[in-house]
Amino acid sequence: MPTNIDSYQENLRLIEESNQRCRSLGLDPTIVPESIQISQEQLQHIQRETLETLKVVEFFIPEFLNMVKGTPLLIVVTDNQGIVTYIEGDSTIKDVIKQFGFRTGVQFTESYNGTNCISLALDHNKPVEVIGPQHYHEFLSQSACYSVPFKNHRTDGTFGTVSIMTALNFQDPLLLSLLSIVGNSIEREIQLREQNKDLNVLNQMVTESAQTAMILTDQVGRIMEFNPYAEKLTGLKRKNVLNQPVQDLAIIGDWIKKIIQTKDRFSDLEVIFNNIDSSKETICLFDGRPIYSENKHFIGTVGSFRDITERYENQLLMKHHAHHDELTGLPNRRYFQMYVNSILESSQSHENMLAVFLLDLDRFKLINDTLGHSKGDTLLVEIAQRLNDYLLNKGKLFRMGGDEFTIVLSASQTFDDLKNIADDIIEIVRKPFVIQGLEFHISTSIGIAIYPNDSSDVTTLFSHADNAMYRAKERGKNGYCFYNSDMNEESMKKLTLETELELAIKNDDLVLHYQPQIDLQTNQIIGMEALLRWNHPQLGLIPPSDFIPIAEEMGLMVILGEWVLSQGCRQMKTWHDQGLTSLKISINLSPQEFLKQRLVDKVKQVLLDTGLTPNCLELEITESMTMDVIRSTSILEELSELGIQIAIDDFGKGFSSLNYLKNFHIHRLKIDRSFIHDMISGPKDAKIVGTIISIAHALNLKVIAEGVENEEQLLFLRNLNCDEIQGFYYSKPLPAIEIERKYILNSSRGVIQL
């Protein structure tokens, strides 16, 4: 049986193959393609031909939309040629897609519309999701689309597809699971209706293979026929019920008696049978009507029962999926809202305490980006299992999405209990995980909000826990924080910065500061590290610690990184033109940049545009960015072949293997400032620094120590044969003009001697 990971990889393969076909067809991804629109007469003909299918769709879709209420989305139904026959859902999305020519009567084909889930689902007869930039055309890059075919069991073909379109930020694999259940329900209902239509009543009674239970009575209610499927459904034997009063039969007897008395017809009445042999519960739809002779005399009744247990169970499954996370099986955000609301509503007073823990995994995005989503999913499942095993009856665990979990703890917990539980959770998550054969460590930050102290409604309670969680991250991660009212102001400040950050990029409010790097043997400046700052028009100079985490959340790191790379290289070329050709520029790469598909091409282009010599550019990466060893080795090798220098930043802080380190194309190790800060007073830190320097020299690597703040640290590093240093002892990071005033104007023969 294929796994979720197999399905995910198969989905990616289908998309990539489709994109390749679109490229070979010469489709332009930057335009909005013209749609194929059939005539109104053709559309009406198709809708008449598929009328029964559309009736079934209209039965299930409103219930589905109600289940995902609050998520703006559009439901689209096509026939087996990809022609849209039905659209329902969010009015705003409807209005937007109309502008792109999307309406009933439009036909979806790959050759016109590029890579799209409808064509893929029809061509491969399987559920498909196409998310954001996976679409071939760029105008769909902010949408998430899911399609499921519903099959024609008579021909092994398809009746068509049912699809979801929503905004990219509402993407959720759960939608495809729910949609698959809807598709199965539609298939089953169409099959049932066709059975009922194709077989007339008398043929059903005498055909043993009929999947409909049939009971025939005479005009006084004696059972005259009881077919095999009725035996199977009820557990009763035909020989035992023939000629017996129908009213003796549980459930159905009263309905048939009513037909005899009133001569009324009944259809689609839901009844439940409990088989007397197996105790199995079966849900059926009952149709009953009177039978008349050719002379219009009443001669009996006929009742039929269609088994809809599968449909009923699918509806229960849909409800389960709507309230549970598909990956971990945990209750999801919707369930959390319902669960907490029910507790708050049942609490008659504010004497009982309820606590909400919001857990966010630290550096989880880095794991996804470096090791891939399948390994990230494995980690999430393992964490969910650990937390559930620990909590037992202490509280209830939910997955809110991504790397966020919540825990709801009951009134029996004291304040000290909550602290102890938070400490336990932090330790549970810190225990190492083994991923790709490597031992890996992760931590979590926890925000805690308490009812009724912090709020009396679930939305505000969760928001306060969220604010407290971010405060825990600001304090260094791997800890917990209880909410207090002062955090609202901090939250508003963060929201303001989020709003203004994109404007800052457009308005050129970003600046680079440069910190000198000094050779300890010659006491000369050999390079500058470029460090990003935000020059806010009202708040002044904002340090990166305040806005880089926001940029990471907003997905702006690649844009910021490309700006830093371009500006830094341009400035260094200016200094080279002034005669300082021995200087290099050091630039930090974010994980998002390092893992970008065209990183090497981008670096080449910047060097070409600025004219900077490649060996005067040093790119700094962190140890954790090299977890995907195969991919990292390839990228570092390409950069090294260009002549670019590579430095491992914050060395000693991560969990890299020295075995991999010797195989990477790197030139310099940068010792993390935390070791430099404590090495004078801490013997262990001094030994770590000495060991790093020895290992680096053994591998023919240079070593630079950052965060050097006093002469004692400088002399200590010199005695350990450290090659280079940077830090406040020589200079804090300065704007380019101040660097020039302080150092470059006093240089001699292209050398800055201190």
CA pair distance 165, 368, nearest whole angstrom: 25
- The CATH class that applies to domain 199-312 reads alpha beta
Phi-psi region of 590 (alpha: psi -120 to 50; beta: other; left: phi over 0): beta
Question: Is the bond leading into 133 cis (omega within 30 degrees of zero)?
Answer: no
502-746 fold: TIM Barrel (3.20.20)
Note the maximum CA span of the chain: 122
Q: Is the pLDDT confidence value at 576 over 90?
A: yes
CA pair distance 460, 454, nearest whole angstrom: 8
CA pair distance 289, 264, nearest whole angstrom: 7
User: For 137-148, how does the pLDDT look when each residue is reduced to its tens digit (9 = 90+)?
Assistant: 988 988 999 999
**Residue 486 CB-density burial (10 A; 0-12 exposed, 13-18 middle, 19+ buried):** exposed
User: For 42-77, how does the pLDDT look when each residue is reduced to its tens digit (9 = 90+)?
Assistant: 989 988 888 888 888 888 888 788 877 778 899 999
Residue with tokens 């794991």: 367
User: Residue 332: how many CB atoms within 10 A of its CB?
Assistant: 20
CA pair distance 179, 54, nearest whole angstrom: 16
CA pair distance 18, 205, nearest whole angstrom: 50
Can you tell me the mean pLDDT for 242-268? Answer: 88
Is 252 in contact with 286 (CB distance < 8 Å)? yes
4-173 fold: Beta-Lactamase (3.30.450)
Can you tell me the mean pLDDT for 417-440? Answer: 85
User: For 599-632, how does the pLDDT look when each residue is reduced to its tens digit (9 = 90+)?
Assistant: 899 999 999 999 999 999 999 988 777 766 677 7
Would you place residue 201 in the very low, low, confident or very high pLDDT band (cuts 50, 70, 90)?
Answer: very low
Neighbouring residues of 132: CB distance < 8 A, sequence distance ≥ 6: 141, 142, 143, 144, 168, 171
Of 238, 218, 244, 228, the C-alpha closest to 301 is 218
Is 127 in contact with 180 (CB distance < 8 Å)? yes
Would you place residue 487 in the very low, low, confident or very high pLDDT band (cuts 50, 70, 90)?
Answer: low
CA distances 301 to 265, 285, 297, 689, Å, are 10, 17, 12, 93
Would you place residue 198 in the very low, low, confident or very high pLDDT band (cuts 50, 70, 90)?
Answer: very low
Phi-psi region of 108 (alpha: psi -120 to 50; beta: other; left: phi over 0): beta
The pLDDT score that the predictor gives to residue 551 is 77
Task: Tell me the torsion sign for CA atoms 458, 464, 465, 470.
Answer: positive
Q: Is the pLDDT confidence value at 274 over 60?
A: yes
Q: Is the pLDDT confidence value at 210 over 60?
A: no
Would you place residue 260 in the very low, low, confident or very high pLDDT band (cuts 50, 70, 90)?
Answer: very high
The pLDDT score that the predictor gives to residue 175 is 84
Would you place residue 2 in the very low, low, confident or very high pLDDT band (cuts 50, 70, 90)?
Answer: very low
Across 73-87, 180-194, 613-627, least confident range: 180-194
- pTM (global) more than 0.85: no
CA angle in degrees (0–180, nearest 5) for 277-280-282:
120
Q: Is the pLDDT confidence value at 660 over 70?
A: no
Q: Is the pLDDT confidence value at 528 over 70?
A: yes
Would you place residue 200 in the very low, low, confident or very high pLDDT band (cuts 50, 70, 90)?
Answer: very low
Is 23 in contact with 111 (CB distance < 8 Å)? no
Phi-psi region of 448 (alpha: psi -120 to 50; beta: other; left: phi over 0): beta
The pLDDT score that the predictor gives to residue 314 is 77
614 is written with which tokens? 């490649």
CA pair distance 202, 214, nearest whole angstrom: 9
The pLDDT score that the predictor gives to residue 653 is 65
Most confident of 202-211, 440-449, 675-684, 702-711: 702-711
Percent of the chain with pLDDT over 70: 90
Can you tell me the mean pLDDT for 507-522? Answer: 91
The pLDDT score that the predictor gives to residue 277 is 61
- Looking at residue 24, its amino acid is S
Would you place residue 494 in the very low, low, confident or very high pLDDT band (cuts 50, 70, 90)?
Answer: low
Is 558 strand, coil or helix? helix
Would you kindly state where each structural domain of the chain is located, as residue ranges? 4-173, 199-312, 332-485, 502-746
Q: Is the pLDDT confidence value at 275 over 70?
A: no
Is 430 in contact with 362 (CB distance < 8 Å)? no
Residue with tokens 């450290």: 722
Can you tell me the mean pLDDT for 188-217? Answer: 62
Neighbouring residues of 20: CB distance < 8 A, sequence distance ≥ 6: none
Of residues 28 and 201, more confidently modeled:
28
Of residues 317 and 602, more confidently modeled:
602
The pLDDT score that the predictor gives to residue 617 is 96
Of residues 181 and 630, more confidently modeled:
181
Given 2.60.40.10, 3.30.70.270, 1.20.120.160, 3.40.718.10, which CATH number is that of 332-485? 3.30.70.270
CA pair distance 89, 58, nearest whole angstrom: 12
Q: Is the pLDDT confidence value at 348 over 60?
A: no
Q: Is the pLDDT confidence value at 501 over 60?
A: yes
Of 226, 243, 220, the C-alpha closest to 299 is 220
Can you tell me the mean pLDDT for 503-529? Answer: 90
Backbone angles phi, psi at 408, to 5 degrees: -105, 120
Mean pLDDT of all residues belonging to the chain: 84
Can you tell me the mean pLDDT for 210-226? Answer: 84
CA pair distance 622, 370, nearest whole angstrom: 12
The pLDDT score that the predictor gives to residue 444 is 93
Answer yes or no: same fold for 332-485 and 502-746: no
Can you tell me the mean pLDDT for 532-538? Answer: 85
Across 188-197, 349-358, 515-524, 728-737, least confident range: 188-197
Question: What radius of gyration do the chain's Cα atoms show?
Answer: 34
CA pair distance 646, 251, nearest whole angstrom: 79
Is 142 strand, coil or helix? coil
**Residue 660 CB-density burial (10 A; 0-12 exposed, 13-18 middle, 19+ buried):** middle
Question: Which stretches of 612-682 are DSSP H helices?
Answer: 629-641, 658-661, 673-678
Q: Is the pLDDT confidence value at 648 over 80?
A: yes
Can you tell me the mean pLDDT for 88-102? Answer: 84
